[in-house]
Chains A and B, each alone.
Chain A
Amino acid sequence: MGTELFVPALYESLFPAGISRYAVGGLLVGLGAVVIYLGTGITAGASTFLESTLSYVSDQSRFQRYRASRDWRIVFTVGIVAGAAVYALTFQSGLVSSGLYESGATGQLHDVGGVTVWLTDVQPWRLFLGGILVGIGTRIGKGCTSGHGVCGVGSASKTSIVGVMTFLIVAIGTAQVAMALGVSP
């Protein structure tokens, strides 16, 4: 008798924002990687952009290895920023709506010349310190959530699966500790 009550309640607590916005977004992220793969054979990741772009300003041998790919990695990154901006102009600004998209209640929304921009409430020190560790870690660990998590897992690469499990478990532990210590937002 409890299942009719229990199942929706469980779903509500696991997915308070539903799943369609996440699943549709994920399919599009995968599609972006596939378009690049189909045309060029490249399995793209987002974090090498950091090292390859540093080759413009540093002579260190580590960065010079990425000279050959640094120009297209900038184009890829500019594309990511532009794609998110298209989302901001359409769904985030309410110009386009869909039953598959559910807006959220995090951060702050501001109207700037008719466009709704979104700003995080997460404190700058968390972003900066976290960013430093992300920058070090992805480069030592050979990939990030897109390189390992999307292209590597899609390649059924054991290295990437182990990499994803490692950062997922450690990130959950870190976020739980931060929450327990009362770090918010």
Chain B
Amino acid sequence: MGRNRHPLFMPLIFVGGLLFGFGLGFSHMARPEVVLNFLQFEDFGLLFVMGGAAVVTGIAFALVPRLFDRAPLTGDTYGRRLKSFDRNVLIGGAIFGVGWGLSGICPGAAYASLGVGNVTIVWALAGMFVGAYLQGYWRSQRAASETTPAGAD
């Protein structure tokens, strides 16, 4: 990737996002109320959204690497999404869970919510950027203090 991106790279990413966002709208996941209804055990439909999506990606992630060598638009090999496990997955997951349970909103659904006309969602989007900034600022400071010897000034 990088310099010589295939001319269809961006259009394809856009089409992928288009399907993704249409699906979030169609399934009503762009409505915080519907997510809250699930978390309050009033409508279990959300299980079919996450489950249906994971079944489709699961089939593709299992088959595509066996059928093809490299992705046509990047030349990259097909891998799976495997992140290392550590305490942060639990801590971050719990913090995310409190936020999701309080607001009924997660990142992808929040972007889609804007598309269905829900301008009130800018409150959630602003909150997400503030949260991501706080976290990134803290991590950057910590990384800097680990590489420079203590008491340098």
Q: Within the complex, which residue of B37, B100, B130 is in contact with A167, where a contact is CB–CB below 8 Å?
A: B100
Q: Which residues of A1-55 have CB atoms within 8 Å of chain B's CB atoms? A: 14-19, 21-47, 49-51, 53-54
A86 sits at the interface (CB 8 A): yes
Q: How far is the CA of A54 from the CA of B97 in the complex (A)?
A: 23
> Which one of B23, B24, B48, B109 has the highest number of Cβ atoms from chain A below 10 Å of its Cβ?
B23
Q: How far is the CA of A158 from the CA of B103 in the complex (A)?
A: 27
B152 sits at the interface (CB 8 A): no
Q: How far is the CA of A72 from the CA of B109 in the complex (A)?
A: 18
Chain A interface secondary structure, helix, strand, loop or mixed?
helix
Q: Within the complex, which residue of A120, A140, A144, A146 is in contact with B118, where a contact is CB–CB below 8 Å?
A: A120
Cβ of B152 to closest chain A Cβ, rounded Å: 17
Cβ of B122 to closest chain A Cβ, rounded Å: 9
- With A26-B23, A34-B56, A134-B128 known as contacts, the answer to whether A19 contacts B93 (CB < 8 A) is no
Q: A residues within 8 Å of B by Cβ?
A: 14-19, 21-47, 49-51, 53-54, 58, 60-63, 68, 71-72, 75-88, 91-92, 101, 104, 106-107, 110, 112, 115-122, 124-147, 149-160, 162-164, 166-176, 178-179, 185
26 contacts between A and B (CB under 8 A): A22-B46, A28-B27, A39-B16, A62-B143, A77-B111, A79-B14, A80-B17, A81-B115, A82-B17, A83-B22, A83-B112, A88-B117, A92-B116, A104-B34, A112-B117, A127-B124, A131-B130, A133-B98, A135-B134, A136-B131, A143-B83, A151-B61, A158-B85, A171-B97, A173-B101, A175-B102
